Amino acid sequence: MKKLLPLSLFLFASIVLAGCQSKHQEGVTSDYRAQWMSVNADTTTSTEAARAVLADEGLKDIQASSTNVDGRVTGKKADNTQVTVTIKKQTDTTSQVSVVVGTVGQPALGAELARKIKDRVEGSMKTR
């Protein structure tokens, strides 16, 4: 019986931890609530890309603002779930883009939006 309890705890922990792992878009980091990645653009360009992606996805009530050190874009899904994109300056030419969907997060959607923002930034940089 003494060996059964530790074995049971180990099996339970293994199942829970395996269930919490999720696959995201390549290059996207996640802590379940937020998904983030670095992009090769300043905060203003990254904020505009995030605004455009949320608009392309059909979100409503989109608001965007940025400075030379940070940016923020918010929008709402049809069910009024808030989507928040936060941009932080890393260097003069790179930023970190973080996406949070709802209160507790929706990792698949957050990762997809983060990847689309990066793709839009890199696409716009190629056309310059």
Q: Kindly give the confidence (pLDDT) of every residue in the chain, 128 residues in length, as a single tens digit, with 9 standing for 90 and above.
A: 566 555 555 555 555 444 444 455 778 999 999 999 999 999 999 999 999 999 999 999 999 999 999 999 999 999 999 999 999 999 999 999 999 999 999 999 999 999 999 999 988 766 65
> What CATH number is given to the structural domain containing 25?
3.30.310
pLDDT score for 17: 45
User: Domain range holding 81?
Assistant: 4-126
Three-state DSSP at 113 gives helix
pLDDT of residue 76: 98
- 35/98 Cα distance (integer angstroms): 6
Number of structural domains found in the chain = 1
Inter-residue contact 32 to 102 (CB < 8 Å):
no
Task: Report whether 108 contacts 55 (CB < 8 A).
Answer: no
| Number of helical H runs and strand E runs in the chain | 3, 6
